Chains A and B, each alone.
Chain A
C-alpha cells in the first residue's frame, strides 16, 4: 500500500470528513447558486435513496433493484473470469495459443461495450442474454490479459529450483506457474469487477423494468432528476461495497505476498 504512515482508523476518519465537506459544498451550491435548477440537493437524493428501500420505485424496492443488477452482473462476470483465466493461461503457457488469440484480444479490447448494444440485441434478444454479453465483454479482456502477464512473470530461478527438487512438467505448472499468477489474476478480477459494474447502466439501457441502471434510464425518460441521482448513488455505494469485499478476499488469499512488518 502506498498510503503508509497512517492508521486504518485515521484513514476512515479522513474519508468520512472528505465526504462531509463534499456534501456541504453540494448542499450549499444547490441552495444558493443556479446549480439548484439542474440538480437536486443531497438531502433530497439521500432521503429518496433510503426511502426507496421501503417505497418501491417502479415495481421494486431499492434492495431488489440492487440485487437484480448484482445478479445480472455476477453471472457474466463469473463466465468472463473463468474463460479469461483459461484463455490467459493458455496464451501464457503455449506460444501457438498466444499467436492465435492475442491479435483478437488486442483488436476487440478497445471497443467499448456500449458499441456492441445493437449487435447483442440481434444475437441475444432483448432479455438477459444481451445484457450478459455486454458485461462479459467488459471483464473478459482485462482478466485474460492480466492472467497472461502473470504467467509471463514466472521467475526462471524458481522453475529451476522446482526441477532440481524433482517436479515434473505438470507440477511446474500447478505448483509454480499458478501460484505466481494468482496475484495477477486477482488484480485483473478487481479491475474487471469495477468495469463490469460500471457497464450495468449500458446493459440495462437494453429493455429492462428494474435494476439500478434502469433507475437512471427511466429517470431520463420521464425527466426525474432525483431518480437519476438515486440510481447513481446506488451504483456508487454498491460498487464501493463489492470492491471492498473483493480486496478483503485478495488480502486473505495472497497473504504470502505481504511484506514483513
Chain B
C-alpha cells in the first residue's frame, strides 16, 4: 500500500475518560489503523467497547489522550466538513425540512442558494427521497430519517463518511433494505467509509475490510478482507463461512 492511499491514520492512540464513579477509565489502548482511500471499512466489535469513541476521534469531537489521529497526514484537531458523520440517533435538525437538513452544510459554508439547492437535490434523489423535500423529520419513518442523515453527510462531499451504527435503531426488514441502499449509494458515489456495527451479518454484507475490535481498552484483534462481489447474498456459502470464522474470534464476554 502506498502512503498516498492512506486517508485516515491512527498512530498509537490511547483514549481514557475520567468518570466520577470509575475514576480513570481506558477505552482505547495503542490503536493503530490505516484507512485507505475509497475503501468501505467496518469496525466490528461487541457492546460498549469504544467503537463510537474511535469514530468521534476521527470526527474531531474527542481528542486522543495519547498518540495521534491523522487525516491526509495532518492531525485532526476539530470537527470539519471533510469528515462527515451519520449518527445512530440521526441527529437531524427537527425544525428544518428534509431539504433544509441536507443543504445545511453547504449553507453554513456560504454556498449560494441556487447551487446548494441543486447539490442537495442530487443527494436527496440519490437516497430516494424525492417528493419529501418539504417534509419535517418527525413525519418520516426511521429508515427515511436515516436516509436524510446519509444525504446530509454526503451533501458536504466529505473525504470520509463516518457511520456510527446508523441502522441500530431500525427493525430487521428496514435494516436489510438500508444495507442494500447504502451499498447502492456507495457504489454510485464512491467515498471512504468507516462504518461501526455490532452486527456480524451487517459487517460481512457491507465491508471491503473488517477490523474486529477487542473489548476495553479496545484495539484491533483481527482483520479480514472481504472480496465477495456486490450485491452480496446472506446465504451464500462463502458469506456464511466468513461469518462463522469471524464469530469465532469475537469476544462474547461483555
Chain A residues with CB under 8 Å of chain B are 155, 157-158, 160-168, 171, 175-176, 179-180, 182, 255-260
Contact = CB atoms under 8 A, between A and B. Distances in A.
Interface in B86-120: 87, 89, 91-96, 104-105, 108-109
Interface stretch (B6-14, B24-32, B77-85): B77-85
Interface of B: 59-61, 78-81, 83-85, 87, 89, 91-96, 104-105, 108-109, 136, 138-139, 152-153, 156
4 tightest A-B CB contacts, nearest first:
A166-B81, A165-B105, A163-B79, A161-B91
A238 B64 CA distance: 61
Contacts of A158: 91, 93
B85 A161 contact: yes
Contacts of B138: 256-260
Nearest to A157: B91
Given A157-B89, A175-B104, A166 B136 contact: no
A182 B96 CA distance: 13
A165 B91 contact: no
A38 B139 CA distance: 56
Contacts of A260: 138-139
Contact of B94 (A162, A167, A257): A257
A164 B85 contact: yes
Contacts of B87: 157, 160-161
12 contacts: A157-B89, A157-B91, A160-B61, A163-B61, A164-B59, A164-B79, A164-B153, A166-B81, A168-B108, A256-B138, A257-B95, A260-B139
A255 B136 contact: yes
A251 to B, nearest CB: 14
Given A164-B59, A166-B108, A167-B108, A256 B94 contact: yes
B136 A256 contact: yes
A55 B254 CA distance: 82
A180 B95 CA distance: 8
